[in-house]
Structure 1
Amino acid sequence: MVPIAAPTHSFCVHLPAAGNFKLKTNMRFVVKACSNNGSRARRGTLYMGGVEVDTPCLLLATRKGLPHFITPDLLHSLHPNARAMEISPLHFWECPSPSTVTAIGGVHGMLSMPEYGFIAIPRDSVMCIPNAEGSNKFGASFETPYGHRMVKPVQYMENICALKPNLWSSLPDEVPSWVSDKRNIISVDRTTRWLDDCLSMQPTGSESAALGAVVGGTSLELRERSASEVASRNVAGFLLAGFGLGESIEDRPVLLDAIMRNLPEDKPRHISGLGLPVEVLQGVAAGIDLFDSTYPYLLTMGGYAMTFPLNMEEKLFVSKESNVELSDIGDDSAKINLRATIYRNDASPIMQSCSCYTCQKHTKAYINHLLNTHEMLAQTLLEIHNTHHYLQFFEAVRHAINVNNFNMFSSWFVKHRR
Structure 2
Amino acid sequence: MATPNEATLPKEMLSFVLRHGEFSKAGLRLGQLIIKGRSPIPTPNFVGSTSRGVVPHVTQDVLSKTTRIPAVYIGLEDFIEKTPPKAPILRQPSGKLSSKLRDFIALPSDCVAILGARRVPALDCPKQNTNTAISICTSVGFQSLELDDYVKCISELQADITVGLADVVTTEAISQKRLEKSADRTHAWLRDTLTPRLDDPDSQGPLFAFVPPLEPHQQSFYLGDLADDYKKEITGLSFLSPETAASLQKDLEALPRLCLSDPSSPQNVLRAIRLGNDMITVPLVNGASESGIAMTFFFDSIPDGQDIPLGFDLLATPHATDLSPLVSGCQCYTCTKHHRAYLHHLLSAKEMLAWTLLQIHNFHHIDVFFQQIRNAIEDGTFEEKAKAFSRAYDSEMPQSLGQGPRTRGYQAKSVGGGEPKRNERAYGRLEEHARKLEEAESGIATPEAELDALDLQKQGLGEVQQ
1:37 is displaced (CA, Å) by: 5.8
Return the letter of the residue paired with 2:298. P
1:119 is displaced (CA, Å) by: 0.9
Is 1:178 the counterpart of 2:165? The answer is no
1:125 is displaced (CA, Å) by: 3.4
Higher relative contact order (CA 8 A, sep 6+): 1
1:417 corresponds in structure 2 to: 393
1:155 to 145, 149, 163: 149
Give the root-mean-square deviation of aligned CA atoms.
2.7
Q: In the superposition, relative to structure 1, how do residues 148 and 100 fare at CA in structure 2: closer, same or farther (>3 Å)? A: same
1:352 is displaced (CA, Å) by: 0.5
1:175 is displaced (CA, Å) by: 1.8
1:164 corresponds in structure 2 to: 158
1:196 to 186, 191, 198: 191
Secondary structure, aligned partner of 1:33 = coil
1:98 corresponds in structure 2 to: 90
Return the letter of the residue paired with 2:70. R
Deviations 1:137-178 (A, max 9, x none): 341111122321111211111211222111101111112353
Structure showing the higher helix proportion among its residues: 2
* Max Rg structure: 2
Return the letter of the residue paired with 2:47. L
Q: Is the 8 A contact 1:215 1:226 kept in 2?
A: no
1:41 is displaced (CA, Å) by: 0.8
Is 1:271 the counterpart of 2:259? The answer is yes
2:383 corresponds in structure 1 to: 407
Return the letter of the residue paired with 1:182. K
1:268 is displaced (CA, Å) by: 0.4
1:267 is displaced (CA, Å) by: 1.4
Q: How does 1:381-396 map to 2 (within 5 A)?
A: 381-396=357-372
Output the CA distance in 1 between the equivalents of 2:36 and 2:24.
Answer: 34
2:313 corresponds in structure 1 to: 337
Q: How does 1:311-326 map to 2 (within 5 A)?
A: 311-314=300-303
Q: Is the 8 A contact 1:10 1:31 kept in 2?
A: no
Secondary structure, aligned partner of 1:42 = coil
1:350 is displaced (CA, Å) by: 0.7
Q: How many residues align?
A: 374
1:256 is displaced (CA, Å) by: 4.1
Q: In the superposition, relative to structure 1, how do residues 138 and 262 fare at CA in structure 2: closer, same or farther (>3 Å)? A: farther
Return the letter of the residue paired with 2:29. R
1:72 corresponds in structure 2 to: 60
1:225 to 221, 232, 244: 221
Instruction: Name which of structure 1's ranges 354-363 and 64-73 shifts more when overlaid on structure 2.
Output: 64-73
Deviations 1:268-305 (A, max 9, x none): 00111143322221111111101112111001111111
Return the letter of the residue paired with 1:206. S
Q: Is the 8 A contact 1:354 1:360 kept in 2?
A: yes
Return the letter of the residue paired with 2:90. P
Q: Is the 8 A contact 1:231 1:262 kept in 2?
A: no
1:130 is displaced (CA, Å) by: 6.0
1:389 is displaced (CA, Å) by: 0.6
Return the letter of the residue paired with 1:78. T
Deviations 1:180-225 (A, max 9, x none): 21111111111111111111234542241100000133x1112222
Q: In the superposition, relative to structure 1, how do residues 33 and 71 fare at CA in structure 2: closer, same or farther (>3 Å)? A: farther
Output the CA distance in 1 between the equivalents of 2:253 and 2:5.
Answer: 10
1:117 is displaced (CA, Å) by: 1.2
Return the letter of the residue paired with 1:145. S
1:320 corresponds in structure 2 to: none
2:209 corresponds in structure 1 to: 212
Output the CA distance in 2 between the equivalents of 1:352 and 1:130.
Answer: 50
Q: Is the 8 A contact 1:338 1:368 kept in 2?
A: yes
Deviations 1:239-260 (A, max 9, x none): 013x3xxxxxxxx64x5422x2
